[in-house]
Amino acid sequence: MSHTAIFPSCPRCDGDTGDGRFCASCDVLNRYPDAGAYKASRWRRLGGALLDGLIITFTLGIGWLIWLAFTAPDGQTPAKKLLDMYILKETGEPVTASQVWIRDVLVEIILLNLIGIFIFWIASLVDAIWIFIDQNHQTVHDKMVKTIVVHAPRQRVPGDNPYQSGFTTSTGPTRPRRTTTSAGPGTPPAAMPDRSPESREDRLRELQGLADQGFITADEHAERRRRILDDI
Ligand SMILES: [Zn+2]
């Protein structure tokens, strides 16, 4: 499937974006460079597959399924949650919880294992090995349900998932960045905080998360909360 990059040069690294889903130079997700999401490395993906397998084994499947009910709405499996990875559609848009259940339970576990019974588990092996063959590090089950996996370490914010909220606050792709000349070439544009009312809730939630985790004091929390509410 051909995929045209929206940006002539990468807003993150200023390099050649190439014509793939990820920047040819820095691996950032081409379509939404603002999201801070990069192509998940092959070893991270393999580690995720093994980790999910371990969790499934040690919780007899049940614990993993219950955990999946909590991680699926964010486009994650339990292992992907632990390794900061998100499942996206091949277009770069977020997946729904039901798409995660279809991808990971129906296709990856049930379907591939059913095929595996007849061909000595080769299907699951090929599924994992595909990570090392595919230029977008996709597995076979990714190909089947048209998903990619990104690594978004910046998104490790307690109590919030800005990666998802970034999409819920805007309907289309991010606006082109190259229209202004204020920032010189080579200067990565600073991520502008979204001041729209829709994002206020997200910011408050994020702030609450920081307070809950003890990253900021109660006074700081009150002050920053007041500033968010005064804003706009
Ligand atoms: Zn780049």
DSSP letter for each residue of 177-212: STT--SSPTT-PPPPPPP-SHHHHHHHHHHHHHHHH
Residue ranges per structural domain of the chain: 1-179, 192-232
d(CA 174, CA 96): 20
**Separation of 94 CA from ligand 1 center, angstroms?**
21
**Separation of 136 CA from ligand 1 center, angstroms?**
15
**Separation of 22 CA from ligand 1 center, angstroms?**
8
**Separation of 39 CA from ligand 1 center, angstroms?**
11
DSSP helix/strand/coil, 16: strand
d(CA 139, CA 37): 18
pTM of the model: 0.58
Which residue in the block uniquely carries the two structure tokens 């595909």? Answer: 130
**Which pLDDT does position 196 carry in this prediction?**
54
**Separation of 13 CA from ligand 1 center, angstroms?**
4
**Separation of 182 CA from ligand 1 center, angstroms?**
20
d(CA 186, CA 165): 28
Q: Give the Å distances, CA to CA, from 209 to 68, 128, 181, 217.
A: 21, 35, 37, 12
**Separation of 90 CA from ligand 1 center, angstroms?**
18
**Separation of 183 CA from ligand 1 center, angstroms?**
17
From first to last of its 232 residues, the chain has per-residue pLDDT tens of: 444 555 678 888 888 888 788 998 899 998 888 778 999 999 999 999 999 999 999 998 999 999 999 999 999 999 999 999 999 999 888 999 999 999 999 988 888 777 766 666 777 888 889 999 999 999 999 999 999 999 988 654 344 444 444 333 333 444 344 443 444 444 444 444 444 555 677 777 777 777 776 767 788 778 878 877 776 5
Q: Give the Å distances, CA to CA, from 74 to 65, 103, 151, 182.
A: 15, 14, 13, 36
